[in-house]
Amino acid sequence: MTDALQTRSLRLHDPEYRGFASDNYAGVHPEVLEAVAAANGGHQVSYGEDVYTEHLHEVFAQHFGAGVQVFPVFNGTGANVTALQSMLPRWGAVVCARTAHINTDENGAPERIGGLKLLHVETPDGKLTPGLIDQEAWGWGDEHRAQPLAVSITQTTELGTAYSADEIRAIADHVHERGMLLHMDGARISNAAAALDAPFGAFTTDAGVDLLSFGGTKNGLLFGEAIVVLNPAASDGLHYLRKMNMQLASKMRFVSAQLIALLSPGADGEPLYLSSARHANAMAQRLRASLEGLDGIEFTQETQSNGVFAILPPGVADRLRRSFRFYDWDAARREVRWMCAFDTTEADIDAFAAAVKAELAAL
């Protein structure tokens, strides 16, 4: 490598460092990088008229059913806001869990950018039920109240729990009977598929979901998500809204190429999304099993996907963070969240578990 190329490719981080704060911390899966490189070179029509985006529709149809429409976008917040906007009139409101990403981590974008009212309810595990939805699904025809016309669920939830296909079908039937629509925030939909050991269609299209925000960044993509229209009657104007919301990529082939790589079978016949998500989930299970039963630690949620939620004794989290970064989930009760990714190794888990054990033993 020449001196000039070495300067342009300067590495500024330690590639051996691992944290447990977010699956967004992980790098890009090597097969995804290969897909981006393969899509490079030459000219392709911009703004989605390229051959990769055309093929992407065929790939998504294999997983979600014929006739689905796919709109690649830059990020999850953009996917959620744009999808929900396309489902609702200006006076529409969305029922969601209090912990939903659209309510807690998108800086008011659904309301300030999307012009939507969020009606959130408390849940014990991040999952909505028909009964919980009914706490806010009322007041239709009342001009003084934003009209609850959609429900948004997250799969897997922000608490790491997964909806079963039957639970989603029950929600879909319930909201459809009330003239409402069902949106799924699938930021970690691959982890859900791995946890449920089910194809995407079983708990989306077949379960009555109308519109999906399909996540890729948390499962090995460089960037990029997609809005997937499962019920064409539930969405309108996405071609325009995507541009209005600054989510239309000019070089869309590089988003589409990544999603194709994620959803396509590898040499072993298993799609990359599934092998990566299974691994991340397995690492979370390994971490929990390593710490289960220790004095001083209390797990607060079932570990169903790639996140572990626990309460630690005073001071322990801050001391651990000197070597391993992770976030408080509820600082008031010392609850933390540990996330695993496609590139988390058994050695990473064992080193972190040993550090937790040492801190607890020193109390």
CA angle 120, 125, 130 (to 5 degrees): 55
Specify the pLDDT at position 66: 96
Structural contact between residues 11 and 217, judged by C-beta atoms closer than 8 angstroms? no
Specify the pLDDT at position 268: 77
Q: In what order do the strands lie in the sheet with 298-299?
A: 298-299, 307-311, 335-339, 327-330
* Per-residue pLDDT reduced to its tens digit, 127-162: 999 999 999 999 999 999 999 999 999 999 999 999
Specify the pLDDT at position 3: 63
Dist CA 143 CA 337 (whole Å): 41
Domains of the chain, first to last: 3-26+270-361 (3.90.1150.10), 30-263 (3.40.640.10)
- Residue type, position 322, single letter: R
Residues near 12 by beta carbon (within 8 Å), at least 6 away in sequence: none
Specify the pLDDT at position 8: 73
Spell 280-312 as b/e; 16+ CB within 10 A means b. bbbbbbbbbeebeeeeebeebbebbbbbbbbbb
344: preceding bond cis by omega (within 30 degrees): no
Structural contact between residues 227 and 214, judged by C-beta atoms closer than 8 angstroms? yes
* Per-residue pLDDT reduced to its tens digit, 170-179: 999 999 999 9
Dist CA 360 CA 210 (whole Å): 47
Specify the pLDDT at position 9: 77
* Per-residue pLDDT reduced to its tens digit, 319-337: 999 999 999 999 999 999 9
Query: Concatenated DSSP letters for 303-329?
Result: --SSEEEEE--TTHHHHHTTTS--EEE
Residue corresponding to tokens 């009606």: 119
Short-list 248, 263, 183, 253, CA closest to 216:
263
Structural contact between residues 161 and 108, judged by C-beta atoms closer than 8 angstroms? no
SS (H, E, C) 64-115: HCCCCEEEEECCHHHHHHHHHHHHCCCCEEEEEECCCHHHHCCCCHHHHCCC
Residues near 289 by beta carbon (within 8 Å), at least 6 away in sequence: none
- Residue type, position 320, single letter: L
Mean of the pLDDT values across residues 23-31?
Answer: 96
CA angle 35, 190, 53 (to 5 degrees): 40
Mean of the pLDDT values across residues 195-224?
Answer: 98
Tell me the three state secondary structure of residue 152. strand
- Residue type, position 5, single letter: L
Short-list 166, 146, 158, 161, CA closest to 84:
146
Give the DSSP H or E segment for 321.
Answer: none
pLDDT above 90 for 232: yes
- For residue 115, the Cα-to-chain-centroid distance in whole angstroms is 22
pLDDT band of residue 2 (cuts 50, 70, 90) is: low
Mean pLDDT, the chain, as a whole number? 96
Distances in Å between the Cα of 112 and the Cα atoms of 34, 118, 246, 285 are 38, 11, 15, 38
Short-list 241, 208, 248, 232, CA closest to 75:
248
pLDDT above 60 for 277: yes
- Total-model pTM: 0.96
Tell me the three state secondary structure of residue 300. coil
Specify the pLDDT at position 320: 97
Dist CA 10 CA 101 (whole Å): 35
Residues near 307 by beta carbon (within 8 Å), at least 6 away in sequence: 156, 159, 160, 284, 301, 337, 338, 339, 340
Percent of the chain with pLDDT over 90: 94
Phi and psi at 107, nearest 5°, equal 55, 35
Would you state the structure tokens that stand for residue 245, as one six-digit string? 């919301």
Give the DSSP H or E segment for 117.
Answer: strand 117-121
* Per-residue pLDDT reduced to its tens digit, 49-96: 999 999 999 999 999 999 999 999 999 999 999 999 999 999 999 999
